[in-house]
């Protein structure tokens, strides 16, 4: 340690300082006016405490009093993160504050995962959600046959969980998924025993059924809607299917805005 000069109640230093270079199991402590452990280095635990003796599980343990309990601040733009006491002992609120657009942006290794803007709007740029529709009609559907609706056009597919080749949504994680479909059929055969529309998932099937026998003629237009909060495990799949029991193979599944399939991860 190089000492340039000593004046009353102060030391001016010029050069490198190493404390405990021999790696002994000793502590280093700095006191302030009101705290005996304003800075504390645990020599045996290799932990650092600011305002406290560090918890053995924490490499860095910061403890303080008042509303501004802990702050990490960026030097150039003033953005900071606060842990602020606001409640009974052992509870509190985590405050993120930024200058400029006042946006909180939380990242994982793949990029931005959650954003909160200055007005409180919350978005999750990679949260699973999709909306797809068929690009063309499926005409003359064969009877007594299960037909997968050919959703081959994406309006959006956040997180890329829908496959437009096999018309299948695959759940990326275990959770509850809101699934919605509308299927529009044209030239429905009055002689058919029934028509069945299904969201077929790995865990369960969600169906609507229609018997046209009560009509006295073929029906030109009919739409079916299914909306369900479905339980899905990771890698479970969901597809939309149409089935006609008996009658003539004359019904057409109509594309455009009349038929669609959507879903998103709720929880």
Residue 34 C-beta-side C-alpha neighbours within 13 Å: 2
Residues in the chain: 267
Using one digit for the tens of pLDDT, what is the confidence trace for 210-244?
999 888 888 888 999 999 999 999 999 999 999 99
CB 116 within 8 A of CB 104: yes
Mode of pairing for the β-strands spanning 237-245 and 146-148? antiparallel
- Three-state SS string across the chain, please? CCEEEEECCEEEECCCCCCCCCCCCCCEEECCCCCCCCEEEECCCCEEEECCCCCCCCCEEECCCCCCCEEEECCCCCCEEEEECCCCCCCCEEEEECCCCCCEEEEECCEEEEEECCCCCEECCCCCEEEEECCCCECCCCCCCEEECCCCEEEEEECCCEECCCCEEECCCCEEEEEEEEEEEEEECCCCCEEEEEEEECCCEEEEEECHHHCCCCEEEEEEEEEEEEEECCCCEEEEEEEEECCCCCCEECCHHHCEEEEEECC
CB 193 within 8 A of CB 247: yes
C-alpha triplet 91, 96, 102: angle, nearest 5°: 150
b/e for 168-180, b at 16 or more Cβ within 10 A? Answer: bbbbbeebebebe
CB atoms within 10 A of CB 112: 13
pLDDT at res. 6: 44
Q: Which pLDDT score is estimated for 3?
A: 47
Give the tens place of pLDDT for each residue, 14-52: 777 788 888 888 888 898 888 888 898 998 888 998 888
Task: Tell me the average confidence (pLDDT) per consecutive run of 10 residues in the chain, 267 residues long.
Answer: 50 74 86 87 89 86 69 73 57 51 70 80 91 97 98 96 98 98 96 97 96 88 95 98 97 94 97
- Over its C-alpha atoms, the chain yields an Rg (Å, rounded) of 32
Report the CATH number of the 129-265 domain.
2.60.120.40
Of 134, 216, 110, which is closest to residue 182 (Cα–Cα)? 134
Q: How far apart are CA 247 and CA 7, in angstroms?
A: 105
Where exactly does CATH 2.60.120.40 map onto the chain?
129-265
d(CA 78, CA 130): 38
């Amino acid at each position: 340690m190089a000492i340039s000069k000593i004046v009353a109640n102060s030391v001016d230093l010029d050069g490198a300082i190493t404390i405990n270079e021999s790696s002994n199991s000793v502590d280093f402590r700095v006191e302030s006016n009101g705290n005996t452990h304003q800075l504390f280095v645990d020599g045996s635990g290799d932990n650092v405490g600011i305002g406290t003796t560090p918890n053995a599980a924490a490499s860095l343990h910061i403890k303080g009093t008042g509303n501004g309990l802990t702050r990490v601040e960026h030097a150039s733009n003033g953005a900071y993160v606060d842990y602020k006491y606001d409640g009974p002992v052992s509870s509190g609120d985590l405050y993120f504050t930024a200058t400029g657009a006042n946006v909180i942006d939380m990242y994982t290794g793949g990029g931005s995962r959650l954003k909160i803007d200055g007005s409180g709007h919350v978005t999750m740029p990679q949260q699973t959600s999709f909306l797809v529709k068929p690009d063309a009609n499926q005409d003359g559907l064969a009877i007594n046959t299960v037909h997968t609706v050919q959703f081959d056009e994406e309006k959006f597919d956040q997180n890329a969980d829908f496959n437009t080749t096999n018309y299948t949504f695959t759940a990326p994680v275990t959770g509850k998924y809101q699934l919605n479909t509308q299927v529009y059929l044209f030239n429905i055969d009055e002689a058919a025993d029934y028509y069945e529309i299904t969201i077929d998932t790995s865990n369960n099937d969600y169906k609507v059924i229609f018997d046209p026998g009560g009509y006295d003629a073929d029906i030109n237009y009919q739409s079916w809607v299914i909306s369900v909060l479905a339980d899905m495990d990771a890698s479970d799949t969901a597809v939309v299917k149409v089935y006609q029991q008996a009658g003539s193979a004359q019904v057409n599944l109509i594309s455009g805005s009349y038929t669609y399939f959507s879903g998103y991860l709720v929880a």
